Amino acid sequence: MITSHYLKLHIGRTLWFVLLVILSVLFTMATALSVSDFLKLLFDSGESSQTAVSGNLLTKGLLDLYNWLITFGKVRALLLFSLLVFLLYALKSCCSYLSAVEISTVRIKVVRDIRNDLFAKVLNLPVSYYAKHRKGDLLARFSNDITEYDENILGSLQLLVSAVLSIVLYFSMLVYINVKLTLFVLAMLPLVLLVVSGVSRKLKRQSAEMQQRNAYLLSLIEETIMGLKVIKAYTAIEFSNRRFTLFSKLYTQGRMRMFRRINLASPLSEFLSSCIVIGILIFGSYLVLSHDNGLTPELFVSYIMMFVLMIEPIKNVATAVSQIKKGKACADRLTQVLDEADAVGIGQNMGQKVFTGLSMGIQFRDVCFSYGDSDVLSDICISIPRGRNVALVGSSGSGKSTLVDLLSRFYDVSRGQILIDNIDIRDYSIGSLRSHIGVVAQDTILFNDTIAANIAFGRSDVSADDIQRAAIVANAHDFIMQLPDGYNTNIGDGGDRLSGGQRQRISIARAVLCNPDILIFDEATSALDTESERQVQTALDNLLKGRTAIIIAHRLSTIVNADEIIVLEHGRIVERGTHAQLSKQGGRYSQLVALQQLS
């Protein structure tokens, strides 16, 4: 279980918490056992206070202590006893405080560890995972699920451990005071547990449903913010609002039903406990009157006090169990992500070859790839010598992006091989392979940081001069220097403060700074206007000099100078050659050229 795994990392503090709870309960018990007997002796006559009393060792031991205190005189004995009770309460409070500090530290560190591991897992998950799951669902696990896990699992475990330890110690003392009375109590407890468990039985299923609904609500919010322009453009504000309000209503109704069930557990257990107290008063009074096993009136009062002290832990057990069942759904959702298989090669880099740079070239040998039962690529054979540029063209869904994703090992081939310098890329460590591959995609990913930080992203060994040289090659230096803070200008979420062409040139500068041996351009200019495309194309031409590149392009004007053009349709190669050769063949490439009116 996820909880036991992380608690083991903090076993020292956890055991210290348990010891402090035990001490706190013992000090409370000592106080409860003292008061009634001492006050009886204090206000009895001297003769009665010195008489022998039959009963168990506890009774006799307490009587000896009280008689010793009274030898100092009743007034002084009362002061000494009050001081003793004060000391016991002070020690109890101190232990309670220290135990709360210890377990709070454990909870905070466990949540930190889970959050760190969850973030590391998100970074290492295969790309295919994100194609199947909503981003909002992942965000819900970082926010709501971890919070609910802390409050419902860790918080309830804290409550449960304290309650169980208290019950065990109190119950042990009840047994020692009088076995018959305790057996009577024990016979009634299953009724309490049966009723409370019946109330909380459905909580896990209801909680899992609530977590799914919450994740869907977060997904709706994220999609709405990301697509706000589309919503406004299509006057879909009322539609979006109605959809969100509907699911918000269903979520609220579900939570109300769940919390009604949770809140019923505590008062119900309290009522049943009160019934048991009444039963103890009746049966215990009978035992006192019949002098059963030395059960004196004073010890019976202590027994009742001890049982009353045990009621709160019993209620806490019921509350903790219901909360744990509610939180189990959160723990399961966190475990689902943490137990996902990492991306290919992650964590298995020890002993693999280190890729130090391209010396010969890249080969795709009979490469096939499938998503489940659907074939995406079939029998792909491509040879790219070092320093050559190969362009991939074809209609959407023909497998172009998937092919370059295989080279970066975002996925692994289903059949066939991809070789770099005649070595299967699966024999290289993933980190060393990707450090020599630069990617410039159509959807430019920039971060809410400065331009300099985005260009140097992931690298701490670069200087300001290195960043500037990369920007010059990417044809970005001039527009950067026109910004208010130059390279220290913050570009906002996703680079929203820059134009599309400017964002793309920042992305190219980032690739330049890595000085990669292999470059991948995935439709890097398809979303730009003519002027921006010209500026980006100039940057690409600067970057391509002397490098091995795979270029995916819809705008065929950007690849007329490629060393080889490969046309893909339905995951297969249907044509290959230079621009001049393919234009004369009258095949699929010629059709694409005609469609774009390229002379």
Cα–Cα distance, 429 to 209 (Å, whole number): 41
Residue-wise pLDDT tens digits, 244-292: 888 888 888 888 887 777 777 667 767 777 787 788 888 888 887 877 6
Residue-wise pLDDT tens digits, 506-541: 888 888 888 888 888 887 665 556 666 676 677 777
**DSSP designation for 152:** I
- Tell me the C-alpha to C-alpha distance, in Å, between residue 254 and each of 81, 242, 246, 477: 54, 18, 13, 55
Residue-wise pLDDT tens digits, 294-304: 677 777 877 88
Cα–Cα distance, 431 to 580 (Å, whole number): 39
* 335's tokens: 């475990």
Cα–Cα distance, 265 to 276 (Å, whole number): 17
* 202's tokens: 């459905």
Among left, alpha and beta (phi > 0; psi -120 to 50; other), residue 384 is beta
- Tell me the C-alpha to C-alpha distance, in Å, between residue 142 and each of 106, 121, 154, 305: 19, 12, 16, 45
Min mean pLDDT across 83-92, 116-125, 216-225 is at 216-225
Instruction: State how beta strands 437-441 and 518-522 pair.
Output: parallel
* 536's tokens: 């980006």
DSSP assignment of 350-383, as one string?
Answer: TTPBPP---SSEEEEEEEEEEETTEEEEEEEEEE
* 4's tokens: 């036991």
CB burial string 139-160: b at 16+ within 10 A, e below: bbbbebbbebbbebbbbbbbbb
Cα–Cα distance, 159 to 164 (Å, whole number): 9
Alpha carbon 437 to its chain's center: 31
The per-residue pLDDT of the chain, averaged, comes to 80
For residue 351, the model assigns a pLDDT of 40
Structure-token match 């407890």, residue found: 189
For residue 513, the model assigns a pLDDT of 84
96 vs 59 pLDDT, higher one: 96
Instruction: State how beta strands 518-522 and 548-552 pair.
Output: parallel
Q: What is the pTM (predicted TM-score) of this model?
A: 0.67
Residue 458 has pLDDT above 90, yes or no: no
Cα–Cα distance, 543 to 474 (Å, whole number): 7
Cα–Cα distance, 560 to 553 (Å, whole number): 11
Residue-wise pLDDT tens digits, 187-233: 877 776 676 666 666 666 677 677 777 777 877 887 787 777 778 77
Cα–Cα distance, 156 to 145 (Å, whole number): 15
Domains of the chain: residue spans and CATH: 2-338 (1.20.1560.10), 448-515 (no CATH)
For residue 592, the model assigns a pLDDT of 82
Residue 16 has pLDDT above 90, yes or no: yes
Alpha carbon 90 to its chain's center: 40
Rounded to a whole number of angstroms, the CA Rg of the chain reads 37
Alpha carbon 583 to its chain's center: 54
- Tell me the C-alpha to C-alpha distance, in Å, between residue 566 and each of 139, 369, 410, 577, 582: 40, 18, 22, 7, 10
Query: Which helix (DSSP H) or strand (DSSP E) does residue 14 occupy?
Result: helix 11-43
Residue 152 has pLDDT above 70, yes or no: yes
CB burial string 92-115: b at 16+ within 10 A, e below: beebbebbbebbeebbeebbeebe
For residue 410, the model assigns a pLDDT of 83
Contact (CB, 8 A) for 358 and 518: yes
Which among 373, 327, 340, 318 is positioned nearest to 167, based on CA atoms? 318
Min mean pLDDT across 114-118, 129-133, 169-173 is at 129-133
Contact (CB, 8 A) for 394 and 569: yes
Percent of the chain at pLDDT exceeding 70: 85
For residue 42, the model assigns a pLDDT of 58
Helix (H), strand (E), coil (C) string for 246-297: HHHHHHHHHHHHHHHHHHHHHHHHHHHHHHHHHHHHHHHHHHHHCCHHHCCH
Residue length of the chain: 599
Tell me the average pLDDT across 364-372: 87
For residue 293, the model assigns a pLDDT of 65
For residue 192, the model assigns a pLDDT of 66
Which among 118, 112, 11, 109 is positioned nearest to 335, based on CA atoms? 118
Tell me the average pLDDT across 363-385: 87
Residue 315 has pLDDT above 80, yes or no: no
For residue 294, the model assigns a pLDDT of 64
Q: Is 98 helix (H, G, I), strand (E, B) or coil?
A: helix
For residue 218, the model assigns a pLDDT of 77
Cα–Cα distance, 207 to 225 (Å, whole number): 27
Which among 215, 221, 273 is positioned nearest to 245, based on CA atoms? 221
Which amino acid type is present at position 38?
A: F
Contact (CB, 8 A) for 591 and 567: no
Structure-token match 């109890």, residue found: 92
Q: Which residues pair with 439 in a beta bridge?
A: 520
Min mean pLDDT across 149-163, 175-189, 420-434 is at 175-189
**DSSP designation for 529:** -
Helix (H), strand (E), coil (C) string for 377-400: EEEEEEEEECCCEEEEECCCCCCH
Contact (CB, 8 A) for 409 and 435: no
